[in-house]
Structure 1
Amino acid sequence: MASNIVKKAKKPNWESRATKALVMALEDHDHVIRAKFGKHVTKSEKNRAWNEIYQRVNSVAKVERTVEEIKKKWSDLSSQVKRKEARRRADARKTGGGAPMEEPSDTELNLIQNNLYF
């Protein structure tokens, strides 16, 4: 019994300029994306913000990404920055300052400085 499963082609990795565009767009829409739902922030406002982020990312990217892919990238990037920053802080509290850490990338540094990782 042979199944006719068609594998979906893997998209290429994110380009650095698309990632930077994502971070810059999130800086502009941070107040809406991070806010809790309520009378001041509705689901339609959040969707509108994500659609604007979608347009900005895809305007510079070679490969078009969906809103869901952009949200996933943001989640992964945020987790990565949180983990690295927590490790850096823990190492800084060790006797002797701990092992030297690798320098964060420009994108990670931007997220840390603007407190955009959550």
Structure 2
Amino acid sequence: MAEKKRKINWTEEEREILIEQCTSETGRKINLKFSNEISAKDKAIFWEKTAERINSISMCQRTADEVKKKWIDTKSSAKKKAQSMKKELGRTGGGPYPGGLTNLEEKVVTVIPKCSIDGIVNAIDIFAVFTW
């Protein structure tokens, strides 16, 4: 069986196009898990068009599945970094967080629901309130 060759790393321009597409109004709708407005076919078309747009400037041809996977990984990475920053702010000693979000990561974080990063604030644990 032939070994699968690894593709070249994503360039900054490719990432910019991906984030621009996925943070647009259509991209935000596509990323909703449950929506009556967007069908699975619409989502597939969105990822195909995004891949085409990326491939138009890329030295490496990427499939729609690879583009979608890159978006998922990018969101996950930005979310972890934002959560880490929030955690650092609450530590004793204060001071600025040594790192920070890049402009592209800032755009990605705008798509992620705030409660995914901050947690649920002022939540009541119903199991602690009610004793069965």
Q: TM-score, normalised by structure 2?
A: 0.74
Q: Secondary structure at the match of 2:99?
A: coil
Aligned residues of 2:19 and 2:104 also touching (Cα < 8 A): yes
Instruction: Select which of 5, 11, 19 maps to 2:7.
Output: 11
Which has the larger Rg?
2
Q: Which has the higher helix share?
A: 1
Q: Which has the higher contact order (CA 8 A, sep 6+)?
A: 1
Report what 1:92 is aligned to.
89
C-alpha RMSD over aligned residues: 1.9
Unaligned runs of 5+ in 2: 114-132
Is 2:41 aligned against 1:71?
Answer: no
- Per-residue CA deviation, residues 4-26 of structure 1 (Å, 9 max, x unaligned), is x2112111111111011100111
The code of the aligned residue for 2:47 comes to W
Aligned partner letter, 1:27: T
Consecutive unaligned residues of structure 1, counting only runs of 5 or more, are none
Q: Distance in 2 between matches of 1:21 and 1:39?
A: 27
CA distance in 2, matches of 1:40, 1:110: 23
Alignment of 1:27-106 (within 5 A): 27-28=23-24, 29-97=26-94, 100-106=97-103
State the Cα deviation string for residues 55-82 of structure 1 (Å, max 9, x = none): 2111121111001111111111111001
User: Displacement of 1:107 after TM fit?
Assistant: 1.4
Please tell me whether the aligned partners of residues 58 and 64 of structure 1 are also in contact (alpha carbons under 8 angstroms).
Answer: yes
